[in-house]
Amino acid sequence: MATQNTKTLARLMMAPAVIVLLVWMVVPLAMTLWYSFQNYNLLTPQNVSFAGFFNYVYFYTDPAFFESIWNTLVLVLGVLLITVIGGIAIALLIDQPIFGQGIVRILVISPFFVMPPVAALIWKNMIMHPGYGVLADVARFFGAQPVDWFAQYPLFSIIIIVAWQWLPFATLILLTALQSLDSEQKEAAEMDGANAFNRFIYLTLPHLSRAITVVILIQTIFLLGIYAEILVTTNGGPGYASTNLTFLIYRTARLGYDVGGGAAGGIIAVVLANIVAIFLMRAVGKNLDR
């Protein structure tokens, strides 16, 4: 009886969020689907006509299409790798009893407060520029040739910038999870004589697994949509070396004013993102059930 009540109540509590999001998903998706079958360039509105699947074919046959998908994957995986491993390390570090813990924490979290375009500008011109960036100054100090980051390692440079922006998020979530780790358990393990490494592998890591899953899932969603950083730094070049799927859509929809082509690209991106999501859920989703 009580359970039946609870269940109904649970559904009612969930309903508003679900309904709002359902509307929010269906309306833009339907409009985008509609436009993806139209020949519609924003700058020549008199030429609107039915396009069939031409927009899809056109987007798919873009010379940069496959490279952009590859770049998207490299970008997402690279940033995830850096932020998860770095996030765990930093969370463990600042969870130690240290002097000035509060200040250290806020310093570590601070990149998260910087708007993406500003972060990209700062990194591009003040840090990574081969002429007057800080890294170039450091290289010259050691007598080395400054690295031309955006020409030689365009995608890697963007990964660094994005990882810097998202490291605080991962650290924050992981730190919170770390602090909920039962200190009695920790002490028990210490008493048993487990060394620091074993404590980490058998106690801390399993405890963090759900937090790691959340970091991976939420970040992936954001990382699939990265384009402002690319726009500011390399404009997708040199060649297509730093063009990801979102930038390709940006180029079609915003530079080409091709509403139909951009919509088709959006639909393709949604389908691919869902494939990634299903794959991810298979890989890490079981952690959510614990």
| Lookup result for tokens 């726009």 | 231
If binding is defined by CB under 8 A, does position 263 make contact with other proteins?
A: yes
| Closer to other proteins by Cβ: residue 36 or 78 | 36
Between 21 and 60, how does the x/- string for binding to other proteins read (CB under 8 A)?
Answer: x--xx-xxx-xx--x-----xxxxx-x----------x--
| Closer to other proteins by Cβ: residue 78 or 234 | 234
Which region, judged by CB under 8 A, interacts with other proteins, from 14-22, 77-85, 192-200?
A: 14-22
| Total residues at interface with other proteins (CB under 8 A) | 143
| Closer to other proteins by Cβ: residue 78 or 258 | 258
Report the half-sphere exposure of 244 (CA within 13 A, side-chain side): 25
| Residue of the chain from 85, 205, 281, 283 that contacts other proteins (CB under 8 A) | 281
| Residue of the chain from 53, 77, 205, 274 that contacts other proteins (CB under 8 A) | 274
DSSP string covering the chain: -HHHHHHHHHHHHHHHHHHHHHHHHHHHHHHHHHHHTEE-BTT-GGG-EE-TTHHHHHHHT-TTHHHHHHHHHHHHHHHHHHHHHHHHHHHHHHTS--TTHHHHHHHHHGGGGS-HHHHHHIIIIIIS-TTTSHHHHHHHHTTPPPP-HHHHSHHHHHHHHHHHHHHHHHHHHHHHHHHTS-HHHHHHHHHTT--HHHHIIIIIHHHHHHHHHHHHHHHHHHHHT--HHHHHHTTT-STTTT--HHHHHHIIIIIS-BHHHHHHHHHHHHHHHHHHHHHHHHHHGGGGG-
| Closer to other proteins by Cβ: residue 74 or 148 | 148
Binders in 185-244 for other proteins, by CB under 8 A: 186-187, 190-191, 210-211, 214, 217-218, 221-222, 224-225, 227-228, 231, 233-241, 243
If binding is defined by CB under 8 A, does position 163 make contact with other proteins?
A: no
Which region, judged by CB under 8 A, interacts with other proteins, from 74-82, 132-140, 193-201?
A: 132-140
Binders in 61-120 for other proteins, by CB under 8 A: 61, 63-64, 90, 93-94, 96-100, 102-119
Which region, judged by CB under 8 A, interacts with other proteins, from 73-81, 126-134, 197-205?
A: 126-134
Closest approach of Cβ 2 to other proteins, in Å?
Answer: 8
